[in-house]
Structure 1
Amino acid sequence: MLLSGHIFSDSIFGGVLSVLCFAFNHSEATRVQWTPPLRESFAFPFIIAHIAILTFVIKYKKCGPTSILLLISAGVPALLFWQFTQFAFFTQICSIFVAFSLDLVPVTTAKTIIHSHILAFFISFVMLFGNEMMITALYFPSILGLATVIYISPWLSKLHFRPAYILTLAIIFGAITLGLKVGLSKGLGIEDDAHIFDILRSKFTSFANFHTRLYTCSAEFDFIQYATIEKLGTTCLLPFAVISMLAFGYEFLKNTNLFWRSNAGNEEVKNGEIVYNLVQLVCSTTMAVLIMRLKLFMTPHLCIVSALIAHPKLFGGDKISNPVRASIFVGILALLITRGMPNVHQQLNIKGEYSNPDQEMLFDWIQSNTKQDAVFAGTMPVMANVKLTTLRPIINHPHYEHVGIRERTLKVYSMFSKKPVAEVHKTMKEMGVNYFVFQLMNCSNDERRPECVYRGMWDEEDPKNSARTSLCDLWILAANSKDNSRIAPFKIVYNPNRNYIVLKV
């Protein structure tokens, strides 16, 4: 963050400002303090490093193998650790396209950047054992789209009327990206990322299915909360970022005419790194507004953009002496510290210890009473822990970006439906399940949002059985009465408490 702010603002004060902004808004920039094992917690430091390196490459117009290697060194780990990185990098490709189409990124530098993305993609694709989702997601088609734009731009630069030039590049980029995306998905029959577009569709229409409910009913995948905007405003991060953007936008529009005529390499281009980061911030903010969890992209980028306050060419530039500028900066730091320290104290006061005796008892029972090759099914979070702790084979796990996993999970979650017991038992048998781990809490009701509990999800997914008795009620009745006759051929083999029970298939 220090390096990003320093490069972006051309001032060490900007780097310090970015670091402080991040520290004072830490709770809105990451979830690592709550759930450290998240894939994003491992990937995001590399994403931030990649942004810093890219900003450096654009600012100083670097090109060649060294720059490519630096970008790959951050890009590959980011892609390996988190499946959503490729969507983040897609927005990066779009941001680079905007800066390039305005002639703010030289062709040689743009080629270096796109070559790094091509190599990072193929290295990651091989190391992820040919993950099909990487081919059909927007990232790969956008790489090819931007590469095409970069290599044909010298011929299109003959269009001296700038709006026509930009529009032509945009049409080429958009047509290749969307055309390849749709063509590859349909041609290869790959639907691994289809649920992401279903989630976005469900946010703006009445469309909903079981898979979208699993996401949109969670606060992390809802629209951004007003409380987040309020916090970012209270610490002055949001106002500083907006002021910085407006100040640069005014200076940029006042001093450039690249919107109206082609530069064609005849004059030195400047501020490409700033335009790239501002467009990237717009993309990150859009993602955060749609899916609150993705504010981890928006907040750090707000911190980077806020560094523009310390830029020596903005806010008066050379007209303001260094002592006056230093005094103003000290005042800004004092304001930041005053408004942000309560958040730091709040973060430091967070103390917790993970304790789940019921789950530990469950795992002990599994270790002692089941075979090593016994296959388990259940809700995704529990299955991840079963696999990690007991090393037993599992049917479904939280990697929901795989269409096969989504289909299997839907079948597994039919245990919460109103289907006939015999039908569900047959499904479990066909999948090779030996034991089903059931949490009674998963059968709870929610009068405020009935569609957001498993009972309601299944009424929506399977309306033809909505009038039948819920399997949830049968499992609970059998657990309370110690009578398995109502759930045969299932049998409860573990029932020590009111939390977990295990059904033998």
Structure 2
Amino acid sequence: MATVRQRRVGKGTEAAEDQPSEETNVKPDGKVPSDPTGRKVWNILSVTLGGILAVSLGLLTSVYVATLHENDLWFSNIKEVEREISFRTECGLYYSYYKQMIQAASIQQGLHGLVYDNKTESVRTINILERMNVYQEVFLSILYRILPIQQYLEPVYFYIYTLFGLQAVYVIALYVTSWLLSGTWLSGLLAACWYVTNRMDTTRVEFTIPLRENWALPFFAVQVAAITYLLRAHLQPAQERVTLVVVFIATFLFSLTWQFNQFMMLIQALALFILDCFDMLPTAKVTWLYIIQLSGLLLVCVLQFFNSMILGSLLISFNASVLIARTIQKNLKKGGLLNRLGKLILHVLLVLCLTLLINKFIKKILNLESDEHIFKFLKAKFGFGATRDFDANLYLCEEAFGLLPLNTFSRLSDTLLFYVYVFVLILLTVTAGIVAFRNLSGSNQAQYMEKMEECTITLKPDAAYNLTHTVLFGCLALSTMRMKYLWTSHMCVFASSGLCSTEVWKLILKCIRLHTSQRARLIQYSVPIITLLYISYKFWPGIMEELSELREFYDPDTVELMNWIKSNTPSTAVFAGSMQLLAGVKLCTGRTLTNHPHYEDKNLRERTKQIYQIYAKRSPGDVHRILRSFGTDYVILEDSICYERRHSRGCRLRDLLDRANGHIMDGLGENEPELKPSLYPRFCEEIKKNLPSYTVHFTRVFQNKTFHVYRVAKHK
């Protein structure tokens, strides 16, 4: 299988002043010129310097990940087939549509080939633009064709440089969000440094370039930055309108580029709902955000030819339910504590019931079953009954969909990020609890407010949103490791903004009765600078060593397989095999597939389970009948799956198939009582013995150390 081997020989930080305050009466600090003109000039210089630093850090991060990718694979030196093989699993499938559009005779023919595609799933014609989020590949391919860059830049470099360029957008958005929350660009600098030094846990763009999340997360970060700005007080109407437009564009692009957008925005909508219930956000702005989420997702639905999975999403049902419940329940935020709590409980129950009813109704009307595997997976994951369902167990057994490993926290602690994050999280959570209680109780007595002022601060709407955002996405990351990248990047923002916040240090110093404005300002800047110096001292040598380490891509078995397929099989041949491998077959050879890794379709999931019977205990006649029902001409067997050792017993692919088929699993260990011995041996093992019962249906035409290819007989 693929490895990365050692390449053979041959072939200064300055602290910033606060961002301009929104308040009109600001007491001059000793460091800031006291006259209004001098203060204005100082603020302009600070904002300009902070902006230049943000762009510079974004570009440096982009160059950094691009260099790591080149150093790891020697991408500029390897053959085209090796470059394409390096796009593993679903990454290769998505990139194949970019390649298809580039190679089409015209843009119109390329689009027609995507809308009426009969090579991704044999004996079926599907609409790729409806089924998959590949508009970014379409846009890039059109851009490449119309720009005069073909002589200077290969298509693959135009593609990967665009993704690496989006990392610059990502880092700038994180920087700006932290700056907005803290009021100083020093916070943004710290957030960007934490993002880079925790790269293993904040991004995987350099080795999974075409993955949908690498397109989507930069736009999500821009959206969060825009929401943070929108929730600030005293915005002018023009500023508010422009910010809403930015939020809409970022939401739309995020939704367009990732199939899991609806689940991420549902969590975001829950954050808005919770804060609105506790009267911690302006209701009018929250309403606009609900509407933007709905309109952005519905626009994507139209572009994806009314994709039923989007229409049946919980996000649409939830947002519609919240807006309906508001019109039904009046005076929700009036009354005493007990009155408010009663109304709040009733409101939550009403929204929950409406969400379930609307969602059930939509799915019933549309006969929607595309996302049922996700709910089966969630049901099994959280212990609501064991299951032998093949699709649910396929997810449960993947490490990426398991709990977040504990060693993640030790890595994050090495950079001090986790320690600072927990410190800020506890402080702001306590503050949020006090503010929420005060809002619900409706107390506005002067004495009470003065007493509260001594030991707490008012939690601003932008800080409240980011607090709830990080808590909810933290819960998601803890439960599902693959989603940690949504949390860890925001963790950098949240921790840095808290560490550089005047309000946080003012609160701490007031509680221990040591507060002075000079002392608070000194700590506000000195602690982040010391943290930056520590990070630089500890991690700069490692980054330099990482950049100097040269490797190269090495996967001769897969290269040999792809070259053989291109040279020895008809261009119309249909191939069956594992989802991951077939994505590479489509990209490298253009042959027709029986199945592929984009799993959000019920028919495809059923088809994949049937194709995978090549690794189950089935008779050669049964396997031949199944393969021919999908028009299969060749089947590829992989030793790494047939004799899998990566997973423990019960999670190997052959075990999942045995359980789904009601057969006893191989090896020592317990079996469920209802499982029975199979009448047939395992197909992928027995076929290699060349017994007559197998050779009548299958003829071996290629083999190497990893792969075995058999021609499937076309019996009448």
When normalised by structure 2's length, the TM-score is 0.65
1:474 to 677, 683, 686: 686
Alpha-carbon distance, 1:303 to partner = 1.0
- Aligned pairs for 1:25-36 (under 5 A) are 25-36=198-209
CA contact 1:495–1:501 (8 Å) conserved in 2: yes
Which residue pairs with 2:404 in the alignment?
224
CA contact 1:378–1:437 (8 Å) conserved in 2: yes
Pairing 1:504–2:684 present? no
Q: Distance in 1 between matches of 2:358 and 2:537?
A: 51
Which residue pairs with 2:460 in the alignment?
271
Which residue pairs with 1:481 in the alignment?
none
Which residue pairs with 2:367 in the alignment?
189
Q: Distance in 2 between matches of 1:280 and 1:182?
A: 27
Q: Match of 2:637, SS? A: strand
Alpha-carbon distance, 1:305 to partner = 1.1
Which residue pairs with 1:294 in the alignment?
483
Which residue pairs with 1:383 in the alignment?
582
CA contact 1:136–1:185 (8 Å) conserved in 2: yes
Q: Distance in 2 between matches of 1:469 and 1:61?
A: 73
- Aligned pairs for 1:8-27 (under 5 A) are 8-27=181-200
1:133 to 292, 304, 309: 309
Q: Match of 1:353, SS? A: strand
Q: Match of 2:708, SS? A: strand
Alpha-carbon distance, 1:99 to partner = 1.5
Alpha-carbon distance, 1:384 to partner = 0.8
- Aligned pairs for 1:449-468 (under 5 A) are 449-464=648-663, 466-467=677-678, 468=680
Pairing 1:168–2:365 present? no
Q: Distance in 1 between matches of 2:544 and 2:559?
A: 33
Q: Which moved more, 1:162-171 or 1:274-283?
A: 162-171
Q: Distance in 2 between matches of 1:142 and 1:15?
A: 34
Pairing 1:373–2:373 present? no
Partner AA of 2:349 in structure 1? I
Alpha-carbon distance, 1:372 to partner = 2.3
- Aligned pairs for 1:241-252 (under 5 A) are 241-252=421-432
CA deviation vs aligned residue, 1:22-74 (integer Å, no higher than 9, x gap): 12211101121222221111111111111111111122476765333211221
**For the structure 1 residues 390 and 177, does the alpha-carbon distance in structure 2 shift closer, same or farther, using more than 3 Å as the test?**
same
Structure (1 or 2) with the larger CA radius of gyration: 2
CA deviation vs aligned residue, 1:447-488 (integer Å, no higher than 9, x gap): 97122222212221112574320001123333xxxxx62414
Q: Match of 1:492, SS? A: strand
Partner AA of 1:453 in structure 2? R
CA contact 1:474–1:486 (8 Å) conserved in 2: no
Alpha-carbon distance, 1:441 to partner = 1.9
CA contact 2:432–2:459 (8 Å) conserved in 1: no
**For the structure 1 residues 446 and 48, does the alpha-carbon distance in structure 2 shift closer, same or farther, using more than 3 Å as the test?**
same
Which residue pairs with 1:357 in the alignment?
556
Q: Match of 1:316, SS? A: helix
Q: Which moved more, 1:291-300 or 1:468-477?
A: 468-477
Which residue pairs with 1:53 in the alignment?
226
When normalised by structure 1's length, the TM-score is 0.90
Structure 1: gaps (5+ residues)? 479-483
CA contact 1:159–1:165 (8 Å) conserved in 2: no
Q: Match of 2:440, SS? A: coil
Q: Distance in 2 between matches of 1:383 and 1:283?
A: 36
Q: How many residues align?
A: 496
CA contact 2:505–2:523 (8 Å) conserved in 1: no
Alpha-carbon distance, 1:154 to partner = 5.1
- Aligned pairs for 1:274-423 (under 5 A) are 274-306=463-495, 307-316=497-506, 319-321=516-518, 322-341=521-540, 344=543, 348=547, 351-423=550-622
Identity of aligned residues (%): 24
Q: Match of 1:258, SS? A: helix
CA contact 2:557–2:705 (8 Å) conserved in 1: no
Which residue pairs with 2:111 in the alignment?
none
Q: Distance in 2 between matches of 1:50 and 1:74?
A: 5
Which residue pairs with 1:177 in the alignment?
355
CA contact 1:441–1:499 (8 Å) conserved in 2: yes
Alpha-carbon distance, 1:92 to partner = 0.3
CA deviation vs aligned residue, 1:286-310 (integer Å, no higher than 9, x gap): 1111111111011012111112121
**For the structure 1 residues 427 and 59, does the alpha-carbon distance in structure 2 shift closer, same or farther, using more than 3 Å as the test?**
same
Partner AA of 1:146 in structure 2? V
**For the structure 1 residues 260 and 460, does the alpha-carbon distance in structure 2 shift closer, same or farther, using more than 3 Å as the test?**
same
Alpha-carbon distance, 1:135 to partner = 2.0
Which residue pairs with 1:43 in the alignment?
216
**For the structure 1 residues 352 and 35, does the alpha-carbon distance in structure 2 shift closer, same or farther, using more than 3 Å as the test?**
farther
Structure 2: gaps (5+ residues)? 1-173, 450-457, 508-514, 664-675
**For the structure 1 residues 475 and 139, does the alpha-carbon distance in structure 2 shift closer, same or farther, using more than 3 Å as the test?**
farther
Q: Distance in 2 between matches of 1:86 and 1:346?
A: 40
Alpha-carbon distance, 1:217 to partner = 2.1
Partner AA of 1:285 in structure 2? G
Q: Match of 1:452, SS? A: coil
Q: Distance in 1 between matches of 2:283 and 2:646?
A: 59
More contact order relative to length (CA 8 Å, sep ≥ 6): 2
Which residue pairs with 2:626 in the alignment?
427
CA contact 1:162–1:262 (8 Å) conserved in 2: no
Which residue pairs with 1:114 in the alignment?
290
- Aligned pairs for 1:144-159 (under 5 A) are 144-151=320-327, 155-159=331-335
Q: Match of 1:504, SS? A: strand
Alpha-carbon distance, 1:253 to partner = 4.3
Q: Match of 1:396, SS? A: coil
Q: Distance in 1 between matches of 2:552 and 2:608?
A: 30
Q: Match of 1:59, SS? A: coil
Q: Distance in 1 between matches of 2:351 and 2:443?
A: 18
Q: Distance in 2 between matches of 1:224 and 1:279?
A: 20
Alpha-carbon distance, 1:351 to partner = 4.5
Q: Distance in 1 between matches of 2:616 and 2:549?
A: 39
**For the structure 1 residues 494 and 119, does the alpha-carbon distance in structure 2 shift closer, same or farther, using more than 3 Å as the test?**
same
Q: Match of 2:317, SS? A: helix
Q: Distance in 2 between matches of 1:350 and 1:90?
A: 42
Q: Match of 2:439, SS? A: coil
Alpha-carbon distance, 1:490 to partner = 2.9
Partner AA of 1:240 in structure 2? V
Q: Match of 2:552, SS? A: coil
Q: Which moved more, 1:161-170 or 1:79-88?
A: 161-170
**For the structure 1 residues 262 and 133, does the alpha-carbon distance in structure 2 shift closer, same or farther, using more than 3 Å as the test?**
farther
